Chain A
Amino acid sequence: MEGMTFIVKNITRVIISIIFIFGIYITFYGHLTPGGGFAGGIMLACGLILLTLAYGKNMAFKKLSDFWASILDNLGALTFWLIAIIGYTGGYLFVNFIEKSNPFGLLSSGTILINNIAIGIKVFASVFAVFLALTIFGRFVSGFISTEEDN
């Protein structure tokens, strides 16, 4: 059986949703409570790494392969740049162009929420990709990089 023992797999199955919900909460409420996109993204990556360690490498490539990880990484970076450039409509880089209302609400701070989500996606994908590159690439090569039959 691939992966770790029965105990680890069951505890992972129970705990993984809590980890993901906490990571998403930290990302979305970064402008109201301590946290932010960076910490939330790394928490999400921690959840996927836990899945990978518990269930084996095939689970990782089924959930998020290195191809989609790099695409998500690029999408996060591009969204961040896009928000920066749209700010030129207000005069200069990074103008908060969305209207701000009711403090202490979720949609109170304009572009900060979108920036947080973009950074969260970017950090999540890139940290998971680094984990894949450091631990799995040497032993297992997916279809995006190369196939075993090629060489």
Chain B
Amino acid sequence: MLFLFYSLIIFCIIGSIIAIEARNILASVISTGVVGMGLSILFLFLGAPDIAITQVVVEIIVLIILIRSTVSIDNTAITKHRDTFAIISSLIFFGLFLVFAFMAFQGLPKFGEPLMTVSSEYLEQSVSETGASNTVMAILLDYRAYDTLGEATVIFTAILGAFVVLRSKGKKGKKEPDTVKFGIPNIDELSTRKSEEKKQKIQ
């Protein structure tokens, strides 16, 4: 079983390299989807069906939106040549990151042997305290509901921004000036009105 797990991880890495290197944009989008599917099977292997379901569904919807919105734009070929300085510097930083990550991850518990300090308490008491038999949902929406509120706010703000930015045409008509839209009186009209009033007073 462990052999299958590691072969899936290698499959995901190869898929992401293809996604970066492919010249055709449709091929790179599809290989991104393949990586997501492999990742969801990995989550199932690790015993996390909640995250696996979310991963599959989000991957499908991202694939649809990417194909629908990017492939129709006709920029399939990359014309710019590779920048060697950028590649060398990113390789150096990636190597440094690997070294420090190896040093930092020595202190973590071993793979498959969690510490179970807080989580054992959740597993024991979640059914009696919240009534939800799915402990993940009990943690997400009862113990840590404030975090979920922040997550929902992030999604809300992102969709608001997308709606504002992607709107191709504004609410205001082209011929209609701003002053009419927001009820601000025109300065020229005001000045003419004042001069007329002055004339009336003089008369």
Interface residues of A (CB under 8 A from B): 26, 30-36, 38-39, 42-43, 45-46, 49, 53, 66, 70, 73, 77, 80-81, 84, 93-94, 96, 100-101, 103-104, 108-112, 115-116, 119, 122-123, 126-127, 129-131, 133-135, 137-138, 141, 145-146, 150-151
Contact = CB atoms under 8 A, between A and B. Distances in A.
Contacts of B171: 145-146
B58 interface: yes
Given A31-B131, A46-B61, A112-B141, 20 more contacts: A31-B138, A36-B137, A39-B54, A46-B60, A53-B68, A73-B159, A94-B146, A96-B130, A100-B131, A103-B131, A104-B133, A119-B152, A122-B152, A127-B61, A130-B162, A134-B68, A137-B167, A138-B168, A146-B169, A146-B171
B101 interface: no
Identify which of A31, A53, A103 gathers the most chain B CB atoms within 10 Å of its CB: A31
Contacts of A53: 64, 68
B46 interface: no
Contacts of B98: none
A109 B130 contact: yes
Given A129-B159, A133-B167, A151-B173, A49 B134 contact: no
Contact of A115 (B49, B141, B173): B141
Contacts of B136: 34, 36
B78 to A, nearest CB: 23
Interface of B: 49-50, 52-54, 57-58, 60-61, 64-65, 68-69, 127, 130-134, 136-138, 140-142, 145-146, 148-149, 152-153, 155-156, 159, 162-163, 166-171, 173-174
A124 to B, nearest CB: 11
Given A134-B65, A138-B168, A34 B156 contact: no
A101 to B, nearest CB: 7
A42 B162 contact: no
A122 B155 contact: yes
Contacts of B52: 34
30 contacts: A30-B134, A31-B132, A34-B50, A34-B136, A36-B140, A46-B64, A94-B145, A94-B146, A100-B131, A104-B133, A108-B133, A109-B130, A109-B132, A109-B138, A109-B142, A112-B132, A112-B141, A115-B141, A116-B137, A122-B156, A126-B155, A130-B162, A131-B61, A134-B162, A135-B68, A138-B168, A141-B169, A145-B167, A145-B171, A146-B170
A39 B57 contact: yes
Contact of B69 (A81, A103, A134, A146): A134
B90 to A, nearest CB: 30
B119 to A, nearest CB: 17
Contacts of A73: 156, 159
B138 A77 contact: no
